[in-house]
Amino acid sequence: MVAPCVETDDAVCGCAYGYYKNDNTGECEHCATCPVGYGMIMPCYMSQNTVCEECPEWTFSNVDNNMDPCLPCTICEDDEIISEECTTTSDTVCYSTNPRFASVTPYTLTPDITVQDSTLMDMETVNPSTGGTDPITPSGAAENLIPVYCSILAAVIAGLVAFIVFKRWNSCKQNKQGGNSHPVNQTPSPEGEKLHSDSGISVNSDSTAEQTTGHTQGKNDLHLYNNLSPHKQDEVEKLLSGSLEQTWKSLAGELGYQDEIIDTFTREEFPVRALLSDWSSKDCATTDALYTALRKIQREDIAQSLYSDSTATSPV
């Protein structure tokens, strides 16, 4: 359902997520899936079926799906050798030629490539104290590197988490500030709190600043989700409740909720109502933010309903 039945308009029906409307038959049909070797160039939406293309050179797709395009082929590093070339259905397969990570006994890197004994015989180091040679024990060296790799991975993950938290905070801060990009200078002038013109008319600078600030704040409040009419809020809730459960869960993720909080909404009698009620209490809960989040999860129909003329009302 694209729009519910209201006093002045009949209900407008549409295909569920994962389906599109065939204009020739007028029926909802399942979205096409791009086979292996093909990638998506246009998503399935409204009356448009999925459009696929065969992966061009240096790209591949090894899964059936209707969401992902062809991916670029992996390029082997300087110390790696190509074991299998990249095709439209499989990525490049590389293996390292660095002897530090080779085993003491012969082993097979791939079904067609085996390290020979002669190669292992050359893997020796000179012992300075005896003048002789000692066999390399790369397995021990590799084990010593494991803590280093784990530390690097932990640092990268911590950095990503900090970056995501900062972006969320900055986004909420910008939504809260809204269009207030021109702060009012409330510092009194050296001449005093009142500005005098040649005609003798005085203007109270503090009063002017308060009026300007109040006007900007009032303009920002008009975009809050809570300022939508109750009828419009019910319409948004019904559209989300009538969709698949994954739809409102994806929306919750885009609005900044973690999986643990989303699970608590799931246990509520009306999960969508609980989500919207909790989110609308935040300072950054604006219709623009909700509109952007709905478009990110490809629910343009619900996003457009926020500004539809049929049920839109202007807050006083």
Last residue of a domain, one of 27, 54, 72: 72
pLDDT, position 167: 92
pLDDT, position 209: 45
Q: Confirm whether 217 is domain-assigned.
A: no
Q: Confirm whether 34 is domain-assigned.
A: yes
Nearest alpha-carbon partner for 27 in 47, 51, 55: 47
**Separation of alpha carbons 246 and 265, rounded Å:** 13
- What is the residue type of 143? E
Q: Confirm whether 173 is domain-assigned.
A: yes
Q: Confirm whether 109 is domain-assigned.
A: no
Q: Confirm whether 39 is domain-assigned.
A: yes
Which residue, chain included where needed, has tokens 């939406």?
45
Q: How many domains does the chain have?
A: 3
pLDDT, position 185: 45
pLDDT, position 173: 82
Ranges in the chain, pLDDT < 70? 1, 99-143, 178-222, 309-316
pLDDT, position 97: 80
pLDDT, position 267: 87
Q: What is the largest CA-CA distance in the chain?
A: 104
Q: What is the domain range of residue 168?
A: 141-177
pLDDT, position 126: 43
State how far the alpha carbon of 66 is from the alpha carbons of 16, 24, 36, 206, 245, in Å.
Answer: 16, 22, 11, 60, 20
pLDDT, position 300: 85
CATH number at residue 258: 1.10.533.10
pLDDT, position 136: 47
